[in-house]
Amino acid sequence: MPAICSAKGCQRPAAWRVVWNNPRLHTPDREKVWAACDEHRESLSHHLAVRSFLRRVEPFDPAR
């Protein structure tokens, strides 16, 4: 079963990994991941970036 985009209501397959960390809740080495389709990559990344949670955006690799 393919990974599905994390955007609310979206059922598209994930094409991107949006990697983030909330330093108030997580240790520095902990990374959380949201899956994103092409359409929602920018909005999910922006949501995290304005909160200074965004670490990086990378292509989705089903093996990870």
pLDDT of residue 8: 97
Q: What are phi and psi of 14, to 5 degrees?
A: -75, 140
The one-letter amino acid code at 20 reads: W
| Average model confidence (pLDDT) across the chain | 95
Whole-number Å distance between alpha carbons of 37 and 43: 10
Residue 15 predicted with pLDDT over 80: yes
pTM: 0.90
Alpha-carbon distance of 19 to 37, in angstroms, equals 14
Query: With 80 as the cut, is the pLDDT of residue 60 above it?
Result: yes
Beta carbons within 10 angstroms of residue 35's beta carbon = 22
Tell me the pLDDT band of 6, cut-offs 50, 70 and 90.
very high
Alpha-carbon span 1 to 33, nearest angstrom:
18
